[in-house]
Amino acid sequence: MIQRPIQRGLLLVGTFISLTVFLSCAPRTMRSVVDSRGFLFGVAVRPGDLLDPKDSKLLKDNFNILVAENIMKLQYLRPTATFWNWSDVDNLVRFAEENRMKLRGHTFVWHNQNPPFINNLSDKEAALKVLTETITEVLTRYKGKFYEYDVCNEVIDDNGVLRNSIWMRTIGPEYIDIAFKTARQADPSVKLILNDYNNEYAGTVKGDAFYNLVKGMVDRGVPIDGVGFQLHMLAELPVNKEALQANIKRFRDLGLTVSFTEVDVRIKLPVTPEKEAAQQAVYEDLLRIAREENISCFVLWGYTDAYSWIPGTFAGYGSAHPFDQNKQPKKLYGSLRKILEK
Ligand code: 9MR
């Protein structure tokens, strides 16, 4: 049957209305919420997360920035002086590009997860060569691909002094400045970050030592763009909001950004509703402060208890992430979403 113009017009209007109703009723993903807020909300991933259809969908539906939990550490990326293990990183970079996600790089200079050829370094010249070569090689290959990079990680120990790492022993304290300068030269577009744990509060031994180190770098003209607070927290310890905000402010005053880079909140087992409520309060305080202070990004160190690093490191602790063992969202997830929707 030939439709008259008026019938065709009505059909078009009808289709338009149904489509609009359908789209407005379709549940918004967390991803669309954070995108619309211009907020970078991310997670640490393993290679398998990108390959498994369910896991990768969960990532795409929730996050707009990713970091490799392990594969960019030198133990994996450069296991020998001559072998580079690029394929997993290439896959991560491709996945992020295909899904319009940003990437954090983690990490070049650390005391942990180094290959034997680095742990066995004893000569300053040789160590300098490995350090500068590694940074240049990686940032040349992935030029323009990373939003931020943890150039150095955990360089201060728990007593607030420079850690006695392989880099410190072979090169001396100037290894930090050298690493940042090398990174800037290799890729001027990536934000260069100094990352650490227990550095989030002003007025603590480690927090103040970290600040003084960074201030010294800024004063010397070292190309550092921001600092990372890892924020591996305990449900039983409420966030000291004043000390966290005072710390963020003093880094801002140096002209730097602040990123929350490895957020998780572990619970002393067994889990009880009270402990979960305390955990939720810690996550909520961190996320509220992150939004209020407009920090650079908020990255979870894992999304599900199924793949968590916590039980293997802290015996008797667990349930640290917003998705449970079956990758189902916990009540905590809903509460984070509410804060992000505001
Ligand atoms: O989550 C990572 C775990 O799988 C590794 O076994 C561990 C080795 O030290 O490193 C974990 O990630 C760490 C991160 O790279 C730096 N900050 C502390 C994280 C938790 O230990």
Q: Helices (H) and strands (E) in the chain — how many of each?
A: 15, 10
Q: Does the residue 59 lie in any domain?
A: yes
Look-up of token digits 């007025």? 203
Expressed as residue numbers, the domain containing 245 is: 28-341
Q: Measuring from atom 14 of ligand 1, which residue has the nearest CA?
A: 69
Ligand 1, residue 313: give the atom nearest the CA.
21
- Residues of the chain short of pLDDT 50, as ranges, are 1
- Residue from 69, 111, 261, 263 to probe ligand 1 pocket by mutation (most atoms less than 8 Å from CB): 69
The Cα–Cα gap between 139 and 128 comes to: 17
Q: Does the residue 19 lie in any domain?
A: no
Q: Measuring from atom 6 of ligand 1, which residue has the nearest CA?
A: 309
- Residue from 301, 303, 307, 321 to probe ligand 1 pocket by mutation (most atoms less than 8 Å from CB): 301
* CB contact set of 40 (below 8 Å; sequence gap of 6+): 34, 64, 65, 102, 147, 296, 297, 298, 299
> Of 69, 148, 154, 200, which is the active-site residue?
154
- Count structural domains, the chain: 1
Q: Does the residue 263 lie in any domain?
A: yes
pLDDT for residue 11: 67
Question: Are 244 and 212 a contacting pair, CB within 8 Å?
Answer: no
Phi/psi for 19 (5° steps) reads -65, -40
> Of 69, 148, 200, 262, which is the active-site residue?
262
Question: Are 179 and 168 a contacting pair, CB within 8 Å?
Answer: no
Q: How far is the CA of 22 from the centre of ligand 1 (A)?
A: 43
Q: Does the residue 63 lie in any domain?
A: yes
Q: Does residue 125 have an active-site annotation?
A: no
Reading the block at residue 199, the tokens are: 């550095």
Q: Does the residue 96 lie in any domain?
A: yes
> For position 136, which CATH number holds?
3.20.20.80
Reading the block at residue 32, the tokens are: 């669309």
Q: Measuring from atom 3 of ligand 1, which residue has the nearest CA?
A: 309
Q: Does the residue 20 lie in any domain?
A: no
Q: Does the residue 17 lie in any domain?
A: no
pLDDT for residue 27: 78
Q: How many angstroms from the chain centroid is the CA of residue 81?
A: 27
DSSP 8-state assignment for residue 192 = E
- Residue from 106, 309, 313 to probe ligand 1 pocket by mutation (most atoms less than 8 Å from CB): 309
Q: Is the CB of 49 under 6 A from ligand 1?
A: no
Q: How far is the CA of 236 from the centre of ligand 1 (A)?
A: 22
- pTM (two decimals): 0.93
The Cα–Cα gap between 342 and 339 comes to: 5
- Residues 66-113: tens digit of each pLDDT: 999 999 999 999 999 999 999 999 999 999 999 999 999 999 999 999
pLDDT for residue 22: 57
Q: Does residue 262 have an active-site annotation?
A: yes
Q: Does the residue 4 lie in any domain?
A: no
* CB contact set of 7 (below 8 Å; sequence gap of 6+): none
